[in-house]
Each structure stands twice: as C-alpha cells, then as structure tokens.
Chains A and B, each alone.
Chain A
C-alpha cells in the first residue's frame, strides 16, 4: 500500500504549513489544493504573483534552455523556501492513454529538488499516473497519509477537493461558453493556463486586448470531455491533455471566432508541434491566427504592436466583409428594383396591348356594323326600287294590280 518513495510519515506534520507556488498548475488546481489542505486543517501560504524579480530569480537558478514558465516556477519556489514547512510540487504524468502531460510535469519534483539541493527544502508531492493506475484521488490520499493523517480522513479530503475543483471548472466552462455569444470581436486566446493567467506574461496581453474592446475568450476553459472527444477527431494521435483541450475547444467554436491568438512561452515543447498543426488544420477555415511567443526579453511594446496590428487586420477584414455584404445587398436591392420596374413595364405594355386589341375589336365591330348598315341600306334601296318599279307598273294596269291585291 505505502509507496516506498514517499517520505516516512510523521505525525507531527499535522500542524505543517504548506507553501504553494503560484505558477504552472496553480491556476488549474487552485481550488483542489486549497480545499484539500483546508479539509485537513493545514495552513497554506501562496507565493506572491509573478513579477520581474520572480522571473529573474528563477532564471538565475534554472537551466538556460528550460521554458519560461518553469523558470518562473523556480522563482516562486525560491520565494517560498524558508517560509513554510513544505512546498507542494505535484508530479502529473498522465490522466490515461493519450492524456499525458508535458514531460516537465513528470520531472518537476526532481527538478526542484536538484536545483535547490543545497537549500534542500522539504518537497511535498503527489504522483498522478493513470497509465500506472495511480488516479488523482489515490495520489492525493497517499499524500494525506504521508502527512500523518488517517487514510479515511485523507480520502475524504481528496474526494471533496476533487469535487470542488470539478464544480469550479464546470462553472468556468459555462461562463466562458456565454462569451461565444457576445457581439463584437470574439478572439480566442489559446494558451496554457499558466501562461495566460500569469501576472507577468499572459495577463498583460489579455488586459491589452480587453482595452481594445475585444471579447477575450480563453480556449482552455471548456467542457473538457467534449473538447477531448473532438480533439481525437481533429488530430488522432495528439496525446497531451493540455493541448487536446485547446485544440478541441478551438475546433468546437471555430464558427464563432473572429480570430485566434496562439500564445506560448519560449520554448514550449508541446506548442512547437501543436501550434503548427493548428495552423495547418485551420487553414481552410478563414480565421486569422496570430502566433505569439513570449520570452523573458519581450517588453510590452513589441507585443502590443503585434496585437494591435492583428486586431486591426481582423477589424479591417470585418469591415471589408461588411462592405462586401453591403454591396451584395445593394446589388440585390437593385436587381429587385429592376425586376419591379420590368414587371411594371410589362404590365403597362400588356395594358396597352389590351387597349389596342380592344380598339381593334371595336373598329372591327364598327366596320362590321357599317357593313351591315350598308347592306341594309342597299337592301332597303333595292326594296324601294322594286317597290317603285311595282308602283310604276301598277299605274299602268291598276285593275290588275288591285285585283291582285284583292286576291
């Protein structure tokens, strides 16, 4: 049962203070950790939000080639050394098949131990590795036991902590979902939570975007299960949990986005491949994509210029699209008018034709009448003439005629 790799449990540790670095998985697991330790009635302290000094101090201790986020993390750890009994450095390997984390999360406790081996702070860790059947609940329980708590206590705390975190995640996903329905420019920022929520790297970017009147949507806050399912369709062998959430989220909402900003720290192992894949997969979708790489040197000016130009491009595109739409609409209207006019003209023409026809008919009738009349006149004339002739004859032989009449 007991993991031989865990420090021997010490009952006195029950009153320990746990230091939590405000970096890497902090934003993803804040509620999990604080609930867990709160349930066990342990005191927690957090390092202060990242600033320039955190980053510089971390970079001093780190290996040059480590990514900026890890350097910052080390800065946070250094700040906590001496201020608490234990520093929480979790080890997260995987949540299942094709649901792994970056290998740095796998190595994190040992990185911290070795970088600060002279200070040798006490590291508190829990080991999540689903591929070796170590789920989160069990890992947290073991950590609780190693702190001297009873298995039951530890398990209850773990369960409550996981439930609280899940609830918070779902609520946040729902809130984010609402943003996709906002009017105005909707730009998704695809970045790991530890990049986007970091006060030194990501926050300034998000704030600046908001200042420009953009609706900033976090791609990583999403219904995780749905996002994972969709990412498996978009890119079947993509195996990093954090990347899959982002890819799935972007793909799900692609019809509702005006632009995507792929923000990563230098040099992010996952993003180096996944961002390229995203750009390739989204090529046909017509959504503008900005790739933003943050490193320790980047002052805000350079980033702001790039953001501005990107937003300008989207706006210009929008305007152009709207203009196009307007023109199309105008054209349609014109066509409609033309048709209307044509119809009117046709109707008038028909009217005219009918009138002409009527006139012709009338003329015909008149002519016929005349002909009739002429015929009748002719007949009458003929009759009169005949009558005249008869009268003339009668004058000659009246008796005959009268005799005939009498007859």
Chain B
C-alpha cells in the first residue's frame, strides 16, 4: 500500500465474541489501515459502559460502549459501529453522543447512517474509512475474512462439543486458544488455513472419554450474549465442562453467511409462529424445535436483560418445552450478574437433566 504508517487510520471496533481477529484481518490486509485491538472485555469494560449508558438499555450497549472507550484508550482514532435490526440499530448514534459529551475525539463511521435499503451503499462507508480503496484487493481479502469466520465457528463448535470429555483438558483448551492466537497473527489465506488445520487436527486427535450418548444441550438466544463469552460469563465452557455436549447454532456463519432465509426456516415451525418475531427469533424457535425433536436433554435460552425480541419468543419456547417435554433454562444477563449464582443454576440444571436421563434409561 502506498500509504505510510503516519497516514494510516487507527481503526477500532467494539468487541464481539471471537470475531475481532476477522475485523483486524480485513482492516489491515484489505483496507491497508491499522487496527487497534483493545484488551479483552473485563468487569472494568462493563463498569465504564454502565456508568455512562442509560439505565434500562440492554446490556450489550453497555459493554459495547465500554469497549469503545477501551479502544480509544488503546489509541484508536477511528471507530466503526455496526447497524442492526433491533435496538442495535440505534447503538451507534447514542454511543457517539455519549462519547463526544465525555470529550473523546475520534472519527466515527456509523454503518446505521448508510442504511438506505440498498446493500451497496455500505461500500460508501468503506470508502470513508479508506479513500484509496482497492476494491479488488478488499473483495479478495473480504472473502478470506469470511472464510475465517467460518473456521472460527467450526472450531468453536468442535471445542464445545468435546472439551467436557477431553482426558487432557488443558491441552484441549491450549489448542483452542492457540487457534485464536494464530488467527490474530494471520497475514494471508495460507496462514488462516494452516491455523485452522492445526487446530482441527489437535482437537480431533485429542483422546476423549466420551460416552456413546452423552448429554446434549442446545444453546439458543440473543445474538450477542449467546456468542460472547464475557457477556454470558463463560456459560458454554462451564456447562460443557460438566460433561455435556453443547450445541449452538447461533453464530455469524449460520445467521449471516449461510442463513437459509426466514421463510425456509419458518416452513417447519408454521404451527408455532406464523411470522418473523424478531431478527433472530425464527432461527431460535426453529433450532429449539429441531433439537427438541432430536431428543436433546435440555435447552438453555440466553438473553441480556430487556432484550425485547428474545422476551417475545419465550412463550413459544415455553410451548415447545411443554410439547416435547424438554427442560428449558432461561438465563437473563444484566450488568450485575455474577458467576456464583449462574454456577448454582447451571449445576441444578445439569443434575436435573442427568437424573431425567437415568430415570428414562
């Protein structure tokens, strides 16, 4: 790239689950700008956000705001914020207003401003981030980045379905973490593929002590909280480590890259819901029904406090639970949620589904 380091923008993006390495790869390789990766989210992130954010807003806004501040502290001078179909669509503007009132100075690209009904208008946002955009290169790198998303989701699934049964739990975890370190360092498609192959091999060859029919739990819920391990307080790891095969459909590849479309998902749940009830509702109901039919031992529904679309599908999930006799645990996360209470509830849930299994057998 012709731009020197001095001219490069330092781009920050709020933390979203494990996907920040994808943003980093795209920004650095595709747009030729610098990406500032803020530290992993901690309680401080939440406190920073909760202090400035309105009280009743859903929890992801608070963490997003906190991680934007941490990105600015880490040296970012340009922030990018996503658009969204629920309240997420208004996150960008309110966050900017709050940050500017606090006196932060930064360039801001709010994708929600580019919503016109045509997808190609989002390219205008790309041009603003990078005026000398090389469209061919950005497109090529973009495809690689999407591949990275798929790999991340695959490795996550693999890990959470097996980590509870690994004989050497530490090695399992290490392979998982090494994969993300590799993704963060990746400079080319070869690096991505190599990192993925290595992680897949490591996870698949680990000796497992897995019964033929392990307890299976499906994880559904709100887009952000269900994917982000800080926001759901390591829910997946905790429940998987109890010796459960954990299945989560909701991730970027399924919901965004390979989404079968609302109509096609809705076709098999027409008796439960006639219309789309929210941005991720159809998928969640469909997955709950699918897992219930497949005889899963339990369903865990995760959402942040006040997430309206997810609250609205709870009656449907309750009905699925009653019809198929699947125990369903509803978890709501707010900025106060602590691990101890969660641990107790998860243990009780595990004991219950374990006992049910034994009684049935």
Contacts and interface: CB of A to CB of B under 8 A. Distances in A.
User: Which size class do B's interface residues fall under?
Assistant: 35 or more
Interface string A248-285: 00000000000000000011111111111100100000
A110 B93 contact: no
Interface stretch (B125-133, B140-148, B164-172, B305-313): B305-313
A272 B89 contact: no
Interface stretch (A136-144, A217-225, A231-239, A303-311): A231-239
A267 B306 CA distance: 7
A235 B306 contact: no
A24 B135 CA distance: 48
Given A237-B90, A239-B89, A103 B315 contact: no
B101 A280 contact: yes
B306 A272 contact: yes
Interface in A106-129: 106-107, 109-111, 113-115, 117, 125, 127
B93 A107 contact: no
B101 to A, nearest CB: 7
A104 interface: yes
Given A97-B117, A273-B57, A103 B89 contact: no
A267 B59 CA distance: 13
A371 interface: no
Interface stretch (B23-31, B33-41, B108-116): B108-116
B181 interface: no
A113 B90 contact: no
B54 A117 contact: no
B352 interface: no
A91 interface: yes
A237 B89 contact: yes
A115 B275 contact: no
Nearest to A275: B54
A66 interface: yes
Interface in B294-346: 305-306, 308-309, 311-316, 318-319, 332
A28 interface: no
Contacts of B90: 237-239, 273-274
Given A269-B308, A273-B94, A63 B315 contact: yes
B277 A276 contact: no
Contacts of B98: 280
A104 B313 CA distance: 10
A109 B110 CA distance: 33
Nearest to B320: A114
Contacts of A280: 97-98, 101
B60 interface: no
B92 interface: yes
Contacts of B113: 236-237
A110 B269 CA distance: 12
B264 interface: no
Nearest to A270: B87
Contacts of B355: none
Interface string B88-107: 01101110011001000000
A170 to B, nearest CB: 28
Contacts of A115: 315
A114 B110 contact: no
B316 A110 contact: yes
B284 to A, nearest CB: 12
A104 B308 contact: yes
- Considering residues A98, A272, A276, which has the most beta carbons from chain B within 10 angstroms of its beta carbon? A272
A125 B309 CA distance: 19
A405 interface: no
A11 B162 CA distance: 57
Contacts of B61: 273
B56 A272 contact: yes
A106 B276 contact: yes
Nearest to B281: A107
Contacts of B305: 65
A131 interface: yes
Contact of B275 (A127, A236, A274, A275): A127
A366 B307 CA distance: 107
B272 interface: yes
B94 A117 contact: no
Contacts of A273: 54, 57, 61, 87, 90, 94
A293 B58 CA distance: 16
A66 B54 CA distance: 19
A37 B274 CA distance: 23
A81 interface: no
B207 interface: no
B56 A103 contact: no
Nearest to B322: A117
A5 B274 contact: yes
Nearest to B110: A237
Contacts of B275: 5, 91, 106-107, 109-110, 127
B277 A106 contact: yes
A292 interface: no
Contact of B56 (A97, A106, A267, A277): A267
Contact of A238 (B58, B93, B315): B93
Interface in B247-280: 270, 272-279
B177 interface: no
Given A103-B86, A127-B275, A111 B93 contact: no
A80 to B, nearest CB: 18
Given A65-B311, A273-B57, A131 B117 contact: yes
A231 to B, nearest CB: 12
- Considering residues A102, A237, A272, which has the most beta carbons from chain B within 10 angstroms of its beta carbon? A237
A293 B306 CA distance: 15
Contacts of B274: 5, 109-110, 113, 125
B325 to A, nearest CB: 16
Given A267-B56, A277-B97, 7 more contacts: A97-B117, A103-B309, A109-B275, A117-B319, A237-B110, A272-B58, A277-B93
18 contacts: A65-B305, A65-B314, A66-B312, A98-B115, A103-B312, A106-B277, A107-B278, A110-B312, A114-B273, A127-B275, A236-B113, A237-B110, A237-B113, A239-B89, A239-B112, A271-B56, A272-B87, A275-B54
**What are the 10 tightest A-B residue pairs by CB atom distance, in nearest-first order?**
A107-B277, A276-B54, A272-B56, A114-B315, A107-B312, A110-B273, A237-B112, A269-B308, A237-B93, A103-B278
Interface of B: 54-58, 61, 86-87, 89-90, 92-94, 97-98, 101, 110, 112-113, 115-117, 270, 272-279, 281, 305-306, 308-309, 311-316, 318-319, 332
